[in-house]
């Protein structure tokens, strides 16, 4: 059993500090669903809107930042603020659009450890991040297939196949991607995907 939470602000300015607090408070409300480990994903520093003649924002946006920690929510909070200081992230940075993911976990696949915590990623660029509650019954077959296609797995969780599978089938337009994923990973249960 796990708890998943997401926060989206669109066309409303919110500071990074506020976004973090919303994600942490969402996890605190779900902590009864698991406290082996927890994690969040937030957007990197906001970039100025692209000019008409320049590349689109998605071409130049830095990847989202993922924080994962073994232990309860307060362990995650402490770890995140330590990492924020090390990374010199501005807590007052304002985002007019931001999507954040959060997850608290009881381990089902893989031991309680940061690498097995969610969000799980499609790879170093964090193009796709997934938090998930449930069991992917055919994950071993999917994992073997993705490994044959050059994907490297960093965790022992079944969830990691979802973002890697999303990256693998990303060529179709995004609106059809979730349906394709559900077909390939039946019984994947509640999922939130960020791209």
Which of the four pLDDT bands, split at 50, 70 and 90, describes residue 57?
Answer: very low
Q: Which of 11-20, 53-62, 67-76 has the lowest mean pLDDT?
A: 53-62
CA distance 101 to 109: 20
CA distance 93 to 45: 7
Residue 50 above 60 pLDDT?
no
- Model confidence over 106-158: pLDDT tens digits? 777 778 888 889 999 999 999 999 999 888 999 999 999 999 989 999 999 99
Say which residue, 187 or 9, is predicted with more confidence. 9
If DSSP states are collapsed to H, E and C, what string results for the chain?
CEEEEEEEEEEEEEEHHHHHHHHHHHHHHHHHHCCCEEEEEECCCCCCCCCCCCCCHHHHCCCCEEEEEECCHHHHHHHHHHHHHHHCCCCCCEEEEEEEEEEEECCCCCCCCHHHCCCEECCCCCCCEEEECCCCCCHHHHHHHHHHCCCCCCCCCCCCHHHHHHHHCCCCCHHHHHHHHHHHCCCCCCEEEEC
- Token pair, residue 153, equals 């797995």
CA distance 44 to 63: 6
Residue 38 above 50 pLDDT?
yes
Residue 52 above 70 pLDDT?
no
pLDDT of residue 173: 63
Which of the four pLDDT bands, split at 50, 70 and 90, describes residue 188?
Answer: low
For the residues 96-106, what does the mean pLDDT come to? Answer: 93
Q: How much of the chain, in percent, has pLDDT values that exceed 70? A: 79
pLDDT of residue 83: 97
For the residues 42-68, what does the mean pLDDT come to? Answer: 72
The overall average pLDDT reported for the chain is 86
1, 2, 63, 64: the catalytic one is 2
pLDDT of residue 55: 47
CA 51-52-53 angle, to 5 degrees, is: 90
Helix, strand, or coil (residue 14): strand
Q: At residue 117, what are phi and psi to the nearest 5 degrees? A: -75, 160
Q: In this structure, are residues 34 and 97 in contact, taking their beta carbons and an 8 Å threshold?
A: no
190 part of the active site: no
pLDDT of residue 32: 83
Q: In this structure, are residues 130 and 64 in contact, taking their beta carbons and an 8 Å threshold?
A: no
């Amino acid at each position: 059993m796990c708890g998943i939470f997401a926060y989206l602000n669109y066309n409303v300015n919110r500071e990074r500090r506020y976004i973090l607090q919303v994600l942490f408070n969402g996890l605190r409300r779900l902590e009864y669903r698991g406290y082996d480990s927890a994690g969040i994903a937030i957007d990197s520093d906001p970039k100025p809107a692209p000019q008409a003649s320049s590349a689109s924002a998605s071409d130049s946006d830095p990847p989202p930042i993922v924080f994962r920690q073994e232990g309860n929510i307060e362990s995650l909070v402490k770890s995140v603020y330590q990492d924020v200081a090390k990374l010199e992230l501005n807590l007052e940075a304002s985002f007019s659009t931001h999507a954040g993911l959060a997850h608290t976990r009881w381990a089902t696949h893989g031991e309680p450890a940061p690498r097995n915590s969610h969000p799980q990623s499609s790879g170093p660029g964090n193009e796709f991040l997934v938090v998930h509650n449930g069991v992917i019954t055919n994950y071993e077959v999917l994992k073997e297939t993705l490994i044959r296609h050059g994907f490297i797995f960093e965790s022992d969780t079944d969830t990691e196949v979802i973002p890697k599978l999303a990256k693998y089938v990303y060529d179709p337009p995004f609106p059809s991607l979730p349906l394709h994923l559900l077909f390939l990973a039946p019984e994947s249960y509640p999922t939130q995907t960020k791209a």
